[in-house]
Amino acid sequence: MTETIATRTVRPPAATPSLGGVGLFTVLLAAALPLIDFFIVNVALPTIGRDLHASESVLELVVAGYGLAYAVLLVLGGRLGDLFGRRRFFLGGMVAFGLTSLACGLAPDAWTLVAARVAQGASAAAMLPQILATIQAATAGPRRAKAMGLYGATAGLSMVAGQILGGVLVAADIAGTGWRAVFLVNVPVVVVGLLLAARAVPETRSRHPEPVDGPGTVLLTASLLALLAPLTEGRSAGWPLWTWLSLVAFPFLAAAFYAVERRADRQGRTPLVPPSLFALTSLRRGLVMILPFSVGFSGFMFVIAVALQRGAGLGPVRAGLALAPMAVVFFFVSLAGPRLVARYGTRVVTAGALLQGLGIGLMALAAWRSWPDLGLVELLPGAVFAGGGQALQLPIIYRVVLSEVEPVRAGVGSGVMMTTQQSALALGVAALGTLFLSLVPGSGMRDALVVTLLTQLGCIVVTGLLSLRLPRTIG
């Protein structure tokens, strides 16, 4: 008698995805692109306006259209990555970012450029949340701390480097491309990134993916548009009725969004932004800190670009290079950040706010005493302190926000953080830019710049005070 024994192949459990050195470099390269492109156009706007015969309001849409699309779609991008695979959405978003950058660089007129910038912002929103979510899901322990520190350093450096790079590219006029080079430069970078990502970035996704929250997505989009659209376009449009109606609608739309998300959470469904996520102390307090930091920083970058070019008479290269010391110091100080946090905890952020405040104060003093002879030498002391202070804040705040977020919620957590930051960046350009440009006709460029810098100093004070409420250690 022959006995047949049924056998079954037992597969070992799938290994946890791991993000290696090349993969980390690839995602950090991709992380730099959207942030560089938010700031790279600041010094190129005058040239774009002359070449495309664009009005000031249309030029503001070149900046605002990108920022709005980017901000309102970030959380959705994070959720879709959790659902369909972060690597897949990362690659798709990167391809779209390259194509839309090409469209920006080839735009024949101003309105085509605005449309391409909106599409570019949307593609960035598909790509960027996957970067933080992948780091959160495919690293652990000291490797995650190092990766998050490098991400924060990359983000902060990209914001300053974007403005410097924009000035250099416009002045270089590579092959007669002029301002178009600030967008076309993305294309070869995207190609390199795609080749590396295809081999080195692991696939991760939520173990229990949930369908997209339609009502939450619509209400979040409506809320952000109701706040940011009138603030970015109101001044140049003369504050028509629709801007005030939109601002009045904002709190009601935000309340409706919260109510819908809370109800979905209670019913056991997964909302777009789970209210339970804000029960995490580190996330809640870190997000609150991101707001004044980003408002002040983006407003400063926009205003200093305008003041140095229109007021001090510097060309795009000299205006960009005036901030080079800030970028250099930021880079080197940020490398020391993880060691300082390991030793002193989150009080490093408080020290960073003090240094940044000193730097902005020195810049305001330089503007008051040296105007209109304001350039690299006059801004150097302030730029050094400001860059060092920023490096001790932004990378660490990123780590704090995501320190308690579970890998299964990595996409949602990173989307919420990036939406908060991007909304604050757009708000900073709108608020401080409006303040500066409104003061110029009556007070002159120098006084307008000094008042705006002192306003940013107020944002830094708020950031420093809020840092005292952070958990002393980062998990």
All residues at 6 or more sequence positions from 359 whose CB lies less than 8 Å from its CB, including other chains: 381, 382, 383, 384, 385, 386, 387, 388, 389
What CA–CA distance (Å, rounded) separates 371 from 100?
A: 40
What CA–CA distance (Å, rounded) separates 179 from 170?
A: 5
pLDDT value at residue 60: 75
Mean pLDDT computed over every residue of the chain: 84
Furthest C-alpha separation in the chain:
105
Q: CB burial class (10 A; 0-12, 13-18, 19+) of residue 418?
A: buried
What CA–CA distance (Å, rounded) separates 116 from 344?
A: 45
Per DSSP, 34 falls in state: H
pLDDT value at residue 1: 44
Q: Which residue has the higher pLDDT, 408 or 289?
A: 289
Question: Percentage of residues in the chain with pLDDT exceeding 70?
Answer: 94
Structure-block tokens of residue 126: 């598909």
User: For the ranges 403-407, 423-427, 445-449, 456-460, which has the lowest average pLDDT?
Assistant: 403-407
What CA–CA distance (Å, rounded) separates 416 from 74?
A: 7
What CA–CA distance (Å, rounded) separates 100 from 94?
A: 10
Angle, alpha carbons 257-88-39 (nearest 5°): 65
User: For the ranges 339-348, 369-378, 402-411, which has the lowest average pLDDT?
Assistant: 402-411
Distances (CA, A) of 122 to 68, 94, 171: 9, 11, 29
The answer to whether the beta carbons of residues 385 and 362 sit under 8 Å apart is yes
Distance from the Cα of residue 219 to its chain's centroid: 22
- Reported as a single tens digit per residue, the pLDDT across 76-133 is 888 788 778 888 889 999 999 999 999 999 999 999 999 999 999 999 989 988 888 8
Whole-prediction pTM: 0.80
Q: Which residue has the higher pLDDT, 268 or 31?
A: 31
Look up residue 352 and give its amino acid: G
Mean pLDDT of 143-155: 80
Q: DSSP 3-state assignment of 2?
A: coil
Give residue for tokens 């998300």.
Answer: 261
What CA–CA distance (Å, rounded) separates 162 from 37?
A: 7
Q: CB burial class (10 A; 0-12, 13-18, 19+) of residue 50?
A: exposed
Q: Which residue has the higher pLDDT, 42 or 168?
A: 168
The answer to whether the beta carbons of residues 470 and 289 sit under 8 Å apart is yes
Residue 320, number of CB atoms within 10 A of its CB: 30
